[in-house]
Amino acid sequence: MLAGLWLSAFIGCSQPTPEELASLAAKGYYDHLIRGEYEHFLEGMDERPNIDSADYRSQLLDCYAQFVAQQENDHRGILEVRVSNAKTDTIQKYTNVFLVLCYGDSTNEEIVVPMVEREGRWRMK
């Protein structure tokens, strides 16, 4: 009995897996996107060589707004983002997170979001 309690306490304190962390980050970024918080979505991008350019940044933010507006028009918006699965490629050093976009017209679409960890933070590739 005591060994079982110790084992369950040990398992309960285990660290989250890379897949869990990448999934949480990807879902969070897409939650920002569907709430119209485009700056937060943009901050989740890994490779941002020209992001310091105000014009380029503005264009990206406009593209995100257009995407969300298009989804509103086509599917009555994205109501929810769910994590479906995640798989890590240990050779390429990234994790593919599979998200399901749940639309207002009751359709769903699964997308793949490649995620990389940089300095302890998960970002969209």
- Domains defined for the chain, CATH in brackets: 17-124 (3.10.450.50)
Q: Which residue has the higher pLDDT, 117 or 12?
A: 117
The answer to whether the CB of 81 falls within 8 A of the CB of 61 is no
How far is residue 70 from each of residues 41, 52, 65, 103, 114, measured CA to CA in Å?
A: 17, 27, 9, 12, 23
Q: In what order do the strands lie in the sheet with 121-124?
A: 78-89, 94-103, 108-118, 121-124
Q: What is the pLDDT of residue 2?
A: 40
> Residue 54 pLDDT more than 60?
yes
31 CB-near residues (< 8 Å, 6+ apart): 81
Q: Per residue in 75-102, pLDDT tens?
A: 999 999 999 999 999 889 999 999 999 9
pLDDT at res. 9: 46
Q: pLDDT value at position 6?
A: 42
Answer yes or no: is pLDDT of 4 > 60: no
- Average per-residue pLDDT for the chain: 90
The whole-model pTM stands at: 0.85
Q: What is the mean pLDDT of residues 106-110?
A: 98
Mean pLDDT of 17-44: 97
**pLDDT confidence of residue 50:** 64
